[in-house]
Amino acid sequence: MSIIRSQVIGCGAYLPDRILTNAELAKTVDTSDEWIASRTGIRRRHIAKDGETTVDLALKAAERAMADAKIGADQLDLIVVATTTPNETFPSVATSVQARLGMTRGAAFDVQAVCSGFIYGMAVADNFIKAAQAKTILLIGAETMSRLMDWTDRTTCVLFGDGAGAVVLQAGEGKGDSTDRGVFNTKLYSDGRLHDLLYVDGGPSTTGTAGHLRMLGKEVFKHAVINIADSIEAAVRDSGVTVADIDWFVPHQANQRILDATARRLKVPAERFISTIAEHGNTSAASVPLALDVAVNDGRIKHGDLVLLEAMGGGLTWGAALLRW
């Protein structure tokens, strides 16, 4: 039996030039390279310069992914951007990217699931392709988290960074078994009761400002490993493969200790978890496609590999996506 599979045909990423080290941060808040590195694994992060926006980062990642996929804007049916830091309250980052790519057809919209945004976007894109409502989709995760930081709050401002990553997904044919290339499963979850663990204290309908990110880090940590491991197991269930078969885990980059604990819980070698946390910090919805791009370009992820993407973030939201590259 032949079925439609959403296959990744290209990927790309972009990081702003400016690098902010832990040592530099220690000059402005009461922290140290030692504390940040040992508690999180983060050494440095990229920060967008004044006037450099989420749309700018998204566009650069998109252009690289489209060049990798060898497709033009006239071949795209849909743009989905996962972001929690849009240029404007409206319109979406996606429609701005659409305009700057010169794409005059199809549709474009943003998905808001904070750090889980890229996994949510992957689920949306996969379902559009499976429903034959789109053939070729540009999926971007792009953030300027630095703009949501309270730079006097050492419990949050040392954790986040800016960046963007993108993939092009295209409908391809599969046999309907686990040897196919493309997305097998996406699993999404949320629990809105956990709002107070991670949120931004502003918005158009409340303060009229963008607000600042607030997090009860220890509480979020407690949910992270269990929720992520459960969603990975759910994504693998009835896909014809096992967790042990997964070649590469591409996790949301919030904390190296979360990555290591998840690997231990799933009983897989920690080396199979792609980690960019030291160089990128937490870039929210951009972190998974940024890590994906690193591992594809350094030759770790190859065609035919079984790849698991996962994330957890504000909402709380979490989820996983299983695909063959």
By CB under 6 A, residue 31 contacts ligand UT7:
yes
Q: Is 224 in the site for ligand UT7 (CB under 6 A)?
A: yes
Known catalytic membership, residue 282:
yes
Q: Work out whether 281 is an interface residue with ligand UT7 (CB under 6 A).
A: no
Quickly count: other Cβ atoms within 10 Å of residue 244's Cβ: 10
Active site residue 280: no
Binding residue (CB under 6 A) for ligand UT7 from 22, 40, 92, 283: 40
Q: In degrees to the nearest 10, what's the CA dihedral of 143, 144, 148, 154?
A: 100
**With respect to ligand UT7, which residue has the nearer C-beta, 56 or 310?**
310
Q: Which of 22, 212, 227, 252 is catalytic?
A: 252
* C-alpha 314, offset from chain centre: 13
Q: Does 200 bind ligand UT7 (CB under 6 A)?
A: no
| Type of residue found at 247 | D
Stretch that binds ligand UT7, among 28-36, 59-67, 121-129, 186-194 (CB under 6 A): 28-36
Helix (H) or strand (E) holding 43: none
The DSSP-derived string for 200-252 is ES--TTTTSS---EEE-HHHHHHHHHHHHHHHHHHHHTTTT--GGG-SEEEE-
Residue 71: count of CB within 10 angstroms of its CB: 17
Site for ligand UT7 contains 150 (CB under 6 A): no
Of 45-84, binders to ligand UT7 (CB under 6 A) are none
- Where does this chain touch ligand UT7 (CB under 6 A) — which range of 57-65, 168-176, 251-259, 261-269? 251-259
Distance CA 164, CA 236 (A): 27
Could you list the active site residues? 115, 252, 282
Residues that bind ligand UT7 (CB under 6 A): 31, 35-36, 39-40, 115, 154-155, 158, 217-218, 220-221, 224, 254-255, 258, 282, 312-313
